[in-house]
Amino acid sequence: MKMKLREVYSALKIQGDNIADVEITGVCFDSRKAKKGDLFFPLQGQRDGHEFINSAIANGVSATVWQSNHDIPNDKIPYVVVKNVSNAFEILAKYYLNKVNPQVVAVTGSNGKTTTKDMIAKVLSTSNNVAKTPQNFNNEIGVPFTILNMPTNTEVLVVEMGMDRPGQIDHLSDIAHPDISVITMIGEAHIEFFGTRDKIADAKMEITNHLQEDGSFVFNGDEPLLLERAQKVEQDKLTFGNHSSNDLYATKIEAGKTTTKFTTNLWPELEFEIPMMGEYNVNNALAALLVGQISHIKPEAMQKALRELFVTENRTEWLKAKNGADILSDVYNSNPTAAIEVLNSLKDIKTAGRKLIVLGDMLELGEASEKLHESLADHIDADSFEKVYLVGDYMKYLRDKLGDKYAATDLLWYGKDQLPELITDLEKELKPNDTLLLKASHGIHLENVLHELV
């Protein structure tokens, strides 16, 4: 970003006298990360952002925004007074997006959106200056922040969009007006707030509401809910998935512990490789390849890009325990689809010793929690996983469902407040050639277990 403070006034349609000749090179809303050249937006969170303006000033911001219903600011640095800070944040983002005018790729989905965003950005960066959502900044704050911090020479902007309520993605897509909209899949994440997968699909489809007239819609063609709703989309449509009915699908997959190789129907002579485990990540790569094809990226360039991929937030991570055992860690996010995918991937991986799993509650599943936790039982058996450790109130349902598959000594349950006992038991049981999976929603705090084991 690069604009004079006078241009900020103009973009926000605010009249001002004696506007300071200050250059703005970025925006921030976290005073701890403030730096010279930043325009500070005191957004409302759990606390009023105006409380942190002095901290932002101390860290060097060049100017700050104030909301008009607050006390008149001091004049330590230039300021812009607005009626609503959040609205001003979005208005400035729209203005700057129109000014830079990059191609915009918007990505959403119940699983895989951060990985897919990174894959798309890597593929498109072979021929373009690309900016992308940092980490998973994918809400009403994250999307404008991403836009406002892209460099002035950005040719493609890849924006991740998340949701926890109907209408949220419509709002985000209205800010970004994508040229390409991507939906990775429809799962059960946040079903507590939506009630059914149908309503989740409706909410995800909002990413097409503000798709450019000459834009493209890329989506998972294995999902009937998307196929049905896509019929109403008039723009070009391309599908990816496992079935041969899709425009792009994998013809062969070779899954490894840290890499996955695959071939496709469109480029049968090329073998693609991604530096991550799991056949489910192949679909994310297929989505990226379709976006690359739309953007006229050569297949060989896309092949090289995926092989060299570095993922922003690869939550599924291989680590070593203190005694040398392998640990597959995914302790910050879990839902039925993601849990089943990682369980099935782990089954296919060859290991020297036993496979043990620790599964914690999957949160935000609402009234469907009992059945969805029970559904994991179809993917867990003693031939694949010798010991099962379950944590949390909802995992009692899975324990009861697995009771006829495991002896009591191999199927153990712990309350959320019994992590110390779990740690003690794992340290006693885990052998150097074992492989241990840790997966749960962040609210279970299995990261504390991980910290003690590694």
Residue in the block written with tokens 């800070």: 85
Q: Which of 41, 31, 58, 49 is nearest to 148 (CA)?
A: 41
> 431 a known binding residue?
no
> Which parts of 88-191 are beta strand (E)?
103-108, 130-132, 156-160, 180-183
> 33 a known binding residue?
no
Alpha helices in 184-245 (DSSP H): 191-194, 197-204, 224-230
Neighbours of 134 (CB within 10 A): 13
Q: Which of 108, 144, 110 is nearest to 120 (CA)?
A: 108
> 98 a known binding residue?
no
Two tokens, residue 399 = 């324990």
> 113 a known binding residue?
yes
> 242 a known binding residue?
no
> 259 a known binding residue?
no
Classify strands 38-40 and 26-28 as parallel, antiparallel or unpaired. Answer: parallel
Neighbours of 48 (CB within 10 A): 14
List, as own/partner pairs, every contact residues 48-52 make where C-beta atoms lie below 8 angstroms and the sequence separation is at least 24, other chains included. 49/85
**C-alpha to C-alpha distance for 343 and 328, rounded to whole angstroms:** 11
**Angle in degrees, CA 445, 446, 448, rounded to 5:** 80
> 256 a known binding residue?
no
**C-alpha to C-alpha distance for 220 and 186, rounded to whole angstroms:** 9
**Which residues are known binding-site members for ATP?**
109-115
**Which residues are known binding-site members?**
109-115
